[in-house]
Amino acid sequence: MKRLLLVIVLALAGCSSGGTETVEITTTVQVTTTLEAAAPTVATTTTAPKPAGNDPDDVDGQLDIRNLNATRTGDLLAVSLKTYEPWSSNVLVGPGPNRAGPNRLTIFYDIDLDGFPDYRGKIIYSGGALSLYITGEGSAFEPIPVERPTNVRAQFVHPVDIFFAPSGGSGEVDMQIRARSLYNGVEDKAPDAGKWLGVPFNP
């Protein structure tokens, strides 16, 4: 509310002289000002897309894959796989090194992005240790240790130059991977439906 000072000037006719007399009247008027509030801003909520390596809880058994993640840094590839249910390493026991048993966990590598696996790594429990055995293109490589930071996760790191050395090609390219599990005859894949998880090259 504001106060406004008004000055009103009246011209009054003189009674005796026949002239005109000017009278100044000062008054204060209260003025009310209404401010219109700005319309509230409505926040827009968006749902973040699921990571590419996620897989639904869609099969029974301990090896139902929850997600598959991979990061390429220079010549090294770090892979992490998580399941919905806990499992012990000896679930993947095999009759010997590089020989899988009835329950299986396999990583597929597509190094030329043609949609077909060029190499595969089998995670096998043998000799009291969990290891990744990579084969493909007529080659077999030394086993790579697989770590178990939790009872639902397996992870490992290995160089990728082994994939490109036979052809003499450059390893500074993108690639893609996927995973497949088999538990008591029930198969699961990540990403879902046999898709691939892209792994871009990072120097």
Tokens of 197: 């998880």
Handedness of CA 163, 165, 167, 171 (dihedral sign): positive
DSSP assignment of 139-161: EE---EE-EEEETTEEEEEEESH
pLDDT band with cut points at 50, 70 and 90 for residue 203: confident
pLDDT of residue 50: 47
Nearest in space to 29 (alpha carbons), one of 8, 49, 44 = 8
**38 HSE (CA, 13 A, CB side):** 3
Per the CB < 8 A criterion, the answer to whether 176 and 166 are in contact is no
113-148 pLDDT per residue, tens: 999 999 999 999 999 999 999 999 999 999 999 999
pLDDT for 10 beyond 60: no
pLDDT for 21 beyond 60: no
Predicted TM-score (pTM) of the model is: 0.74
Q: Number of H helices and number of E strands within the chain?
A: 1, 14
Q: What separation in angstroms does the CA of 160 have from each of 53, 67, 86, 198?
A: 20, 22, 29, 15
pLDDT for 31 beyond 90: no
